Amino acid sequence: MGEKTQPSLLLILLCMSGLVPRSAAFVFWTALLETRYYHSSNDTVVKLCECGVYGRNSEVEKFSGYVAVPKGDPTGCNPDTSYGRNSSQEWIALVKRGNCTFSEKINTAMYQGAAGVVVYNVDGTGNGTTYMSHPETDDAVAIMIGNIQGTEIANLVKSGTVVYMDIKVGNPHGPWMDTYWLYFLSIAFFIVTAASIAYFVFISANRLYSMNRHRRTENRLKSEAKKAIGRLEVITLKRGDELTTSDAMCAVCIESYKAGEVVTVLTCDHVFHKACIEPWLLERRTCPMCKCDILKALGVEEEVKVDMSTSSPPEVTVITVTGGDSLYEVPLNEPMSHEPEQQQNLYDNIAFVEDSETARG
């Protein structure tokens, strides 16, 4: 009971949201078929089964009436086929599959006033049914039942037995609603979710490891920088010293030197306020003026700061230069050591050389 209720509720929600039209190809509805007729002993025989399947293009709704079979051809393909029923009572056409399309059978019966059409399968198929398609019918209600059951009802009607049929909407079925498919989709969902979580955990752990490694490297470099700073020459300025009498200024704070201030002399002989240069050296470890590496100058080997995998390439500003009929991109902020090679590469282009000579001339 629980297995049928859950898919039904899911389908109802989808139908209410307009996502599943009545003729959706990925779901089909079964039909509850109840037949009643009087036996020769005046006993009422009632048979009930969920043995019908609504057509692909059928209205999915209940219908009922007395069963009528076509006279002559049981398939009801002839447009002039008579069922011998009038419109005073609701009646259902019972026709056999074959000889023409489902649409032709259904339209012929509906044209004569049938409340609905029941198609039973061909001989040799037992009680097997198929999901019949009848796109050329408008607002028709049609189901298919098995051959054995349909033949039995047709024979009763032909023998003069009055058979009443009541058909109600059964349960929805489809690949996505099958229990095994639900299990499969659930397992697939959990596998994908687990893989995604594992991937993000791996990425986060790798990033955390890189950050910790970078932090440890920075801490070691700061420790080495502290040792190096302790080996630098420190002077207390006195009145009359050259630094106090000249216009020299500390390049970090941009203020003049005064008597009584403590200054630090770097290995490159540049002088700065001790309170200004020490925080600078802890972070950058180079002279603010000449970029001299203090650690290397003091013989302290600097470790690699960051892995190549975590470092980003330097940004390069590029301008476009016109040379003849061609365009050339020239980086502006390349290191000075690369400039001669850059110029040599540029002058290898004949058009560029001609333009340069013309400008100089």
Tell me the residue type at 28.
Answer: F
The residues pairing with 35 across neighbouring beta strands, listed in sequence order, are 47, 165
Q: What is the pLDDT of residue 3?
A: 44
d(CA 346, CA 62): 86
Dihedrals phi, psi of 3, to nearest 5 degrees: -65, -35
- Which segments of 122-178 does DSSP mark as H helices, in order? 147-158
Is residue 169 within 8 Å of residue 62, measured between CB atoms?
yes
pLDDT higher than 80, residue 178: no
- Return the CA Rg of the chain: 47
Structure tokens of 81?
């086929």
Looking at residue 117, its pLDDT comes to: 94
DSSP 300: P
| Token reading at 265 | 């002399």
* Three-class SS state of 190: helix
Rounded Cα distance between 285 and 300, Å, is 11
Which of the pair, 184 or 136, is modelled with greater confidence?
A: 136
**Sign of the dihedral through C-alpha 131, 134, 135, 137:** negative
Answer left, alpha or beta for residue 343, where phi above 0 means left and psi between -120 and 50 means alpha: alpha
Output the pLDDT for position 331: 57
Mean pLDDT of 42-71: 89
pLDDT, residue 322, reads 54
Asked which of 209-218, 226-235, 307-316 is least confident by mean pLDDT, the reply is 307-316
Model confidence band, residue 324 (pLDDT cutoffs 50, 70, 90): low
Give the DSSP letter of residue 88.
T
Q: Pick the closest to residue 93 from 128, 137, 46, 45 (CA basis).
A: 137
Domains and CATH numbers, the chain: 2-177 (3.50.30.30), 182-297 (3.30.40.10), 318-360 (no CATH)
Report the range of poorest mean pLDDT among 127-136, 157-166, 299-308, 336-345: 336-345
Q: How many CB atoms lie within 10 A of CB 27?
A: 19
Q: In a 3-state reduction of DSSP, which class is residue 32?
A: strand
- Yes or no: say if 100 and 77 are a contact pair by the CB < 8 Å rule: yes
Residues 153, 68 contacting (CB under 8 angstroms): no
pTM above 0.85, yes or no: no
> 3-class DSSP state for residue 33?
strand
Number of H helices, E strands in the chain: 9, 12
- CA–CA distance, 277 with 123 (Å, rounded to integer): 101
Chain-wide mean pLDDT for the chain? 77
Q: Please report, rounded to a whole number, the percentage of residues in the chain having pLDDT higher than 70.
A: 72
pLDDT at 22 exceeding the cut of 70: no
Residues in the chain: 361
Cα–Cα dist 92/69, whole Å: 8
| pLDDT per position as a tens digit, 328-352 | 555 555 444 444 444 444 334 444 3
Q: What is the distance in angstroms between the CA of the first residue and the CA of the last residue of the chain?
A: 98
Q: Decide: 116 and 167 in contact? Cβ < 8 Å.
A: yes
Q: Compute CA 300 distance to the chain's CA centroid, rounded to the nearest angstrom.
A: 53
Q: Which long-range contacts (CB under 8 A, 24 or more apart) does 317-321 make?
A: 321/346, 321/352
Q: What are phi and psi of 286, to 5 degrees?
A: -135, 160
Question: How would residue 38 be classed by pLDDT, with cut points 50, 70 and 90?
Answer: confident
